[in-house]
Amino acid sequence: MRRKVVLITTLCVLVGAASAFAASNVYTGSNMSFSKGSGSSGKPVGVSFKQTLAATNTDATKAAAVLVNIKTRIYGLRTDGKDFPTCSPARMVALKSDSFCPTKSKAATGLVNSALGDPSLTKSSRIPCNPNLDVFNGGSGKLWFFFTTHTATQCAGLRTGATAPYLGTISYQGKYQVTNIPLPADISTRVADHANFYGSLIHETLSFFKYAARVHGKTIYNNQSIGCLHGKRPWSITYTATTNGADRQVSTVSGAAKC
């Protein structure tokens, strides 16, 4: 653990000599899948789903350019945040934990594989970082994302609470649910508040849970389907990447899952 923390410090000192590389990310392997169920606006059905993110650079000697925003669009999905428990991001920060959160406040959980290093993110400068990622209901239209670790070797010596919870917002465009997740500096271009210490996504999986509750004698779900399009559920993931914190590369991956 000590060696890895020293390595982080060394990379931050040397970063001034590093040059940014041209963004040329590809996102092959990104995907979304859903449990069965179409439903309708009048009779929604509860669904669970899995989101897979993947990023590589066309230059195999470099990690993918750092992501600063992820936006997903999902057809026929509605999320009920008001009728289910929430978890306080302020308490996560204070306690450096999310273990106190109510069970049904956890919207999703998964694992992230990433690389940390200077802005060039060449092979010689990369450090593996593989934290867990928990997602919590923040109330209507809000999700809180929080990285956790269980061992000192999981992410270069960084432990739970080294980075703060970050906010994702949910809105709707017609029958599409749109989730917008700006990735703050302390998980992208200034990881754990180290200047110019970059985090590059390699692979991420998030499994979103289906919960039920009784409200006014009616069964409702946290994630509910209100319909599909010709037997399919269209989706898209839009990635915004940067090499230096200022430039932007925007790419969209689209697909359609079975209902």
State residue 196's pLDDT score: 86
SS3 250: strand
Q: What percent of the chain has pLDDT over 90?
A: 81
Distance, CA of 47 to CA of 221 (rounded, Å): 8
pLDDT at 20 over 80: no
State residue 1's pLDDT score: 37
pLDDT at 258 over 60: yes
Average pLDDT over residues 29-45: 95
Query: Any idea which residue has 């993918």 for tokens?
Result: 64
Distance, CA of 212 to CA of 97 (rounded, Å): 26
Q: How close are the terminal C-alpha atoms of the chain, in Å?
A: 46
Contact 188, 194 (CB under 8 A): no
For 33, half-sphere exposure in the C-beta direction (CA atoms, 13 angstrom radius) is 7
Identify residue 171 by its one-letter amino acid code: S
pLDDT at 13 over 90: no
Contact 204, 133 (CB under 8 A): yes
Average pLDDT over residues 207-212: 98
Per-residue pLDDT of 231-256, as tens digits, reads 999 999 999 999 888 889 999 999 99
Distance, CA of 124 to CA of 13 (rounded, Å): 15
Query: Any idea which residue has 């209100």 for tokens?
Result: 226
Distances (CA, A) of 203 to 10, 20, 111, 159: 26, 22, 8, 20
Distance, CA of 19 to CA of 51 (rounded, Å): 33
**pLDDT band at residue 22 under the 50/70/90 scheme:** low
**pLDDT band at residue 23 under the 50/70/90 scheme:** low
Average pLDDT over residues 63-92: 97
Distance, CA of 65 to CA of 198 (rounded, Å): 9
Q: Per DSSP, what are the bridge partners of residue 34?
A: 49
Note the pTM of the prediction, 2 decimals: 0.90
Q: Which two tokens stand for residue 61?
A: 């000697």
pLDDT at 16 over 60: no
pLDDT at 12 over 60: no
**pLDDT band at residue 206 under the 50/70/90 scheme:** very high
Average pLDDT over residues 76-96: 97
Torsion of CA 194, 68, 137, 81, to 10 degrees: 150
